[in-house]
């Protein structure tokens, strides 16, 4: 009770977020307008309980302020090890699923 899901993204993501908000089960989610400032993002990250993101900059910022997270990466192509290369260095808890 009282938990709020905040959806945020750049201008290209705003249309998708608006469509998600119309789906059943998303009515209590909050869609923020485009967040363009590093400091706006930093404040949102700092005061979050948990973050799910495909954006490595968000992963690094959340790691810096020790906010738990799930980072979503595309599948590795051969030699790549994205989940290892871009994982938070201090956590030691990165797992590929």
pLDDT classification of 46: cutoffs 50, 70, 90: very high
**Which has more confidence, 63 or 85?**
63
Contact 59, 71 (CB under 8 A): yes
pLDDT of residue 88: 66
Helix (H) or strand (E) holding 31: strand 30-31
**Which has more confidence, 43 or 86?**
43
Angle at 62 between CA 57 and CA 63, to 5 degrees: 100
Ranking 43-47, 79-83, 93-97 by mean pLDDT, the lowest is 93-97
What is the pLDDT of the chain when averaged over all its residues? Answer: 80
pLDDT classification of 96: cutoffs 50, 70, 90: low
């Amino acid at each position: 009770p009282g938990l709020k899901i905040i959806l945020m993204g750049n201008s290209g993501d705003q249309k998708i977020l608006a469509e998600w908000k119309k789906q059943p089960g998303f009515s209590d989610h909050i869609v923020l307008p485009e967040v363009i400032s590093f400091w706006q993002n930093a404040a949102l990250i700092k005061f979050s309980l948990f973050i799910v993101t495909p954006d490595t900059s968000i992963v690094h910022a959340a790691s810096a302020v020790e906010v738990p997270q799930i980072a979503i990466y595309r599948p590795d192509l051969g030699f790549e090890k994205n989940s290892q290369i871009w994982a938070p260095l201090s956590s030691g808890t990165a797992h590929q699923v």
